[in-house]
Amino acid sequence: MSSGKEERILEIIKAMEELREDSTVPRNVKTKLEASIGVLKNEGNEMRLRIDKVLQELDEVANDTNAQSYTRSQIWNIVSMLESVQN
């Protein structure tokens, strides 16, 4: 993986960690964020596969009725960042 992609992934992980630490985010959303962060940090799998898995998780999170609109906006921002790394 190129260092540019690595830097972008680190930025995405940081954004996910910040969202996970937000006290207004529901616990089930935090759990999915934590799992997604773990997937991105797992260097055992190909980056494209990790990103695909995280995108699926985040899609579920964004459609969660417990998530506030602000949280959804943050999730879609992270999804956009991931898609830009993937392409």
pLDDT in tens, 30-61: 999 999 999 999 888 788 899 999 999 999 98
Greater confidence (2 vs 18) lies with 18
Greater confidence (84 vs 87) lies with 84
pTM for the full predicted model: 0.88
3-86 folds as de novo design (two linked rop proteins) (1.20.1440)
84 and 4 in contact (C-beta within 8 Å)? no
- Return mean pLDDT, the chain: 90
Determine phi and psi for 24, rounding to 5 degrees: -90, -10
Q: How confident is the model at residue 67 (pLDDT cuts 50, 70, 90)?
A: confident
Distances (CA, A) of 72 to 12, 42, 45, 46: 15, 25, 27, 27
Q: What is the mean pLDDT of residues 11-27?
A: 94
Domain residue limits, the chain: 3-86
